[in-house]
Amino acid sequence: MMEQQLITTTMRDKIIYILLFMSFSFYAQGDMLLASRQQSLFVSDAILVLDPDVYYNPSSIDVSAVSDGDTVTTWEDLGANGLDATAINSIELNLVGAERMAQFNGGNSYFDVPESSFLEKQMGTDNFTIILREGAVVQNTGYYISKADSNVSNREYGLYISGNNKGLFGGSTTSFSPTDGTRRLYIVIITGATVDIWVDGTQVVTDDSVDTVAIQTQSVNIGGRSDGGYMANDGAQMDLISIIPSAITNEERLEIEAQFKIN
């Protein structure tokens, strides 16, 4: 009898030990998961935290396009306004390693963003920021982004390249010579009548004489304009563009450059 009780007690102790071990493991895994989630809070998107009016990045290029050369029909807006861009004519997914880019093919392809009050910015009065990253193909002419038609008086805002110049238009035109290389990150900060343009962390323009331009009711186009200026003529590539409803601070600019600058 004593021997049987001893065996029973030993088995009970083993069961208790196993249960305690499983309980400890469960809570330990829970703590690790919680710690992982808490740590992920510190790894945030430096653009998304600024509550952008629109935000398109590599991950939101048509999720149905998975292979190099697949047709791209949409570019999803990751911001809260849900202004998804629609591909007009031939745009394809271009893969550089594991990186996704939208490539404009054909003479008249671009993305069209629906007209929205969030995108109505008055040059010379409003404060806002345009962020853009070009792809691996160097463009010679065309519009990165445009809320305008060919009439100069209607040029609400836009970023362009023309020959040896790049710049921002909006009533008056501010331009600079492009730097050599590819995959450039452009940050254009508009503070009323003052424009500051940064390329890969280097300030290339500061201009405090921007004209005031009336707000237009045109849609925003990416990679061209509805009446021309298509970057597709050069097989241009783009993988990030955003409009922020404020003139970002120097600290915010540095955080964006640290996260998105390639070179």
199: tokens are: 């390329």
pLDDT at position 142 is 78
Rounded Cα–Cα distance for residues 45 and 34 (Å): 20
pLDDT tens digits for range 235-251: 788 999 999 999 999 99
Residue 174 has pLDDT above 80, yes or no: no
Q: Tokens 């962020």 — which residue?
A: 131
Taking the CA atoms of residue 178, residue 179, residue 184 and residue 185 in that order, the dihedral angle to the nearest 10 degrees is: -70
Q: For 36-98, where are the E strands, in sequence order?
A: 54-56, 74-75, 85-88, 91-96
Report which of 45, 111, 39, 102 is spatially closest to residue 78, judged by C-alpha positions: 45
Predicted TM-score (pTM) of this structure: 0.79
pLDDT tens digits for range 18-55: 555 555 444 444 444 334 333 333 358 999 999 999 99
Residue 93 has pLDDT above 50, yes or no: yes
CATH topology of domain 48-260: Jelly Rolls (2.60.120)
pLDDT at position 235 is 74
pLDDT tens digits for range 2-21: 444 544 556 556 555 555 55
